[in-house]
Structure 1
Amino acid sequence: MSVDFTVPVVDIGPYVRDDGSPADRARVAAEMDAACRTVGFVQILGHGVPTQVTDGLAGAMDDFFGQDLEVKKTYRTPPHINRGYAPPKSESLSLSLGVEAATRMNDFFEAFNVGAARSDYPAGVTPEDSADDYAENLWPAATAGFDGEAYRAAVQAYFVEARRVARTLTRVFADALDVPADFFATRTDHSLDVLRMNNYALPPGLVDLDGELTGMGEHTDYGIVTVLWADRVAGLQVLDTDGDWHDVSPIEGGLLVNLGDLTARWTNERWMSTLHRVKPPVVDGTIRRRRSAAFFHDGNIDAVISTIGSCIGQDGAHYPDITVGEHIRAKLRGSRAGERNTAAEREAARVLSAKS
């Protein structure tokens, strides 16, 4: 087992601050390249997200998820609409990789999704046939004890900050990969951005486990990069290159960042979309409460993902060209609709080769 496994820490402050020098930015880009080559997960500092914004998000999540399940279920959407509420055990993330889970739809978390809507972009920018991909958000209404307007304001405030961080990261990526500074910007000007707020829905307290329980199944993220805010509570596990799982928690004041499948395709796996999962945070038979919020920066739906020329070695490109839309839709049909993704052979092989 790789007992020395660690998630690198990178301070992206020189890209966030106006006074970041070229030398400081070059150092950050080199550190990011090393982290993406070896782990695929990064702890970032210097991101500039105010504490009051993350505190506001956490409070808003508590307020929404604390409502009665039947109330929350009124905000469900069809599987192809990546918005609204997902109840516990309604999804199976392993199917997004084409891996049959022992029990289909067995992921024991609940979630609420919001995203970039067509109305958020200038008229005519998003393709005509992409209304479902850029669906309008389904915001919860006020109920007794729940302030819908306050919830919306807190979530939108964090969404803006997370999007800024994601776009800053792609600027770092461009320098690290030695591509033009606007390489990612030109492919993300109407990006499919989604914020998924997760609540691991087993109530805190004592529990007797009857068989295996999955918080969130093994998966890679789908797009370019994910920015993750999370409780500092055990549960998130990352797969290393030797096939071992390791516990990962965010450092104080940090955000976790991981690469998505599209970046692995672009870089021909020079950078990997690292497999991860969430196990229920059970310690000595006691469940601890856990929350997270993942911001997925996925790129323009009509952007074509072609392997970067400098990343193609003697073995050629590992992946055919694909559009962002084709890739994301296949992934969502797996996780949300229960259809095994048959176009993820390389990722599925990594799941199946993992040790315990």
Structure 2
Amino acid sequence: MTTPFRVPTVDISAYVGRGTAEERAAAAAAFDEAARTVGFVQVVGHGVPTSVTDAFAAALDEFFLLPLEVKKQYRTPPEVNRGYAPPKTESLSLSLGLAPSNRMHDFFEAFNIGAAVSDHPGLDLPEADYPENVWPAEAAHFRAAVSAYFEEAGRVARTLTTLFGDALGLPEGFFERFTDHSLDVLRMNNYALEPGELELDGDLTGMGEHTDYGIVTVLWADQVAGLQVLGRDGGWHDVMPADGALLINLGDLMARWTNERWMSTLHRVKPPIVDGRVDRRRSAAFFHDGNIDAVIETLPTCLDEGGTAYAPITVGEHIRAKLAGSRAGVANTDAGREAARVLAAAQA
């Protein structure tokens, strides 16, 4: 009998407040089970105030409802992972080396902010990887509301890496040296545009199938259908956040660290079409990717009996290859395991 697909819920309040050792152990064990079997988790007890997420949602509306020509003023070159990305200028499938004819076809618009050189004075970080943010002058409340949510999402991500250390039996503070100047990026997405701006083609791709690139992703999203997760049954399953929950999924770097004990789960967005238009959906993914110079190699406790492991790679090398695919149309040739899972799902 096949077990129905379900995204587990984990309460992390013991890590946010002053939980007992037993409460923390229970939360870590529950997350470990979810990470091994699904790779997506509904996290509650995260402590993000509703006032922050309400203001953040209003800020998304303030920016994305601006005229397209205004938004395009904040477009940056593909190699700069900041600012505005118009519809059909990216293809997430290429981050896996997959996409028909290398076509940039994902139907979503986005705005990115992230960690900048100025956030880490004295470290002499490369500006190409830590570019300064751009902020839309036409959206008066955008910067303050987005910055407040960015701080909260970062706190949740760091709380989770503390939990990860306990779940994996690692020394206290293990992940801190890999994340003290982390390449954190907040990507805000919008899936609906005004009539006439785009021609809706046949098989509409909201966001192509992909794995996330880094350590962990904290996802805020509307309770609207669209997000689909690839299950172990080879099928795509609809997922949306539960009331008050943040969706958490693991990235490729965590899969490398754990030798796929924890899953970097493939997902995509297929926005519903209602009366010839895309039903509106907003989401915001906070990517906690680790330090640009950190070397990621399989944890000794996660080596299999034959010693098989991923080859060591720096965070920078890995992220650049992924972004060259999704944003610049250069297919990633170093994602064989993930691409094979996509192809198997397409045949299922």
Bin the TM-score by the shorter chain: over 0.9
- Provide the identity percentage: 69
Q: CA deviation at 1:209?
A: 5.8
* Residues 32-76 of structure 1: per-residue CA shift (max 9 Å, x gap): 000000000000000000011111111101010101111111111
Question: Which amino acid in structure 2 is aligned with residue 141 of structure 1?
Answer: A
Task: Give the structure 2 partner of residue 307 of structure 1.
Answer: 298
Question: Which amino acid in structure 1 is aligned with residue 177 of structure 2?
Answer: T
Residue 147 of structure 2 is aligned with which of 140, 156, 178?
156
1:268 aligns with 2:267: no
1:195 aligns with 2:186: yes
* Counterpart-to-counterpart distance in 2, 1:193 and 1:253: 23
**Structure 1 residues 41-190: aligned runs within 5 Å:** 41-101=40-100, 104-124=103-123, 126-127=124-125, 130-142=126-138, 146-147=139-140, 150-190=141-181
TM-score in terms of structure 1 length: 0.93
* Counterpart-to-counterpart distance in 1, 2:2 and 2:321: 33
Q: CA deviation at 1:121?
A: 1.2
* Counterpart-to-counterpart distance in 2, 1:6 and 1:285: 30
Task: List gaps (5 residues or longer) in structure 2.
Answer: none
Question: Which amino acid in structure 1 is aligned with residue 286 of structure 2?
Answer: F
1:237 aligns with 2:233: no
4+ residue runs of structure 1 moved beyond 6 angstroms? none
* Counterpart-to-counterpart distance in 1, 2:168 and 2:325: 31
Contact 2:13–2:44, Cα closer than 8 Å, also in 1: yes
* Counterpart-to-counterpart distance in 2, 1:204 and 1:263: 41
* Residues 270-324 of structure 1: per-residue CA shift (max 9 Å, x gap): 0010000000122575632100000000000000001000100123233100000
Task: Give the structure 1 partner of residue 15 of structure 2.
Answer: 15
Count of residues in Structure 1 that have an aligned counterpart in Structure 2: 346
* Counterpart-to-counterpart distance in 2, 1:97 and 1:176: 28
Contact 1:2–1:244, Cα closer than 8 Å, also in 2: no
Contact 1:225–1:257, Cα closer than 8 Å, also in 2: yes
* Residues 138-157 of structure 1: per-residue CA shift (max 9 Å, x gap): 11113xxx32xx21000000
Change (3 A) 1:209 1:89: closer
Contact 2:94–2:102, Cα closer than 8 Å, also in 1: no
Q: CA deviation at 1:102?
A: 5.9
Of residues 68-77 and 217-226 in structure 1, the stretch that sits farther from structure 2 once superposed is 68-77
* Counterpart-to-counterpart distance in 1, 2:133 and 2:199: 38
Q: CA RMSD in A?
A: 1.8
**Structure 1 residues 336-347: aligned runs within 5 Å:** 336-347=327-338
Q: CA deviation at 1:80?
A: 1.0
Change (3 A) 1:2 1:318: farther
Contact 1:111–1:198, Cα closer than 8 Å, also in 2: yes
**Structure 1 residues 245-260: aligned runs within 5 Å:** 245-260=236-251
Question: Which amino acid in structure 2 is aligned with residue 113 of structure 1?
Answer: N
* Counterpart-to-counterpart distance in 2, 1:75 and 1:184: 34
Contact 2:8–2:42, Cα closer than 8 Å, also in 1: yes
* Counterpart-to-counterpart distance in 2, 1:112 and 1:22: 40
Task: List gaps (5 residues or longer) in structure 1.
Answer: none
Change (3 A) 1:216 1:4: same
Question: Which amino acid in structure 2 is aligned with residue 5 of structure 1?
Answer: F
* Residues 112-132 of structure 1: per-residue CA shift (max 9 Å, x gap): 0000101111312x54xx211
Residue 327 of structure 1 is aligned with which of 306, 318, 327?
318
Q: CA deviation at 1:3?
A: 6.4
Contact 1:204–1:287, Cα closer than 8 Å, also in 2: no
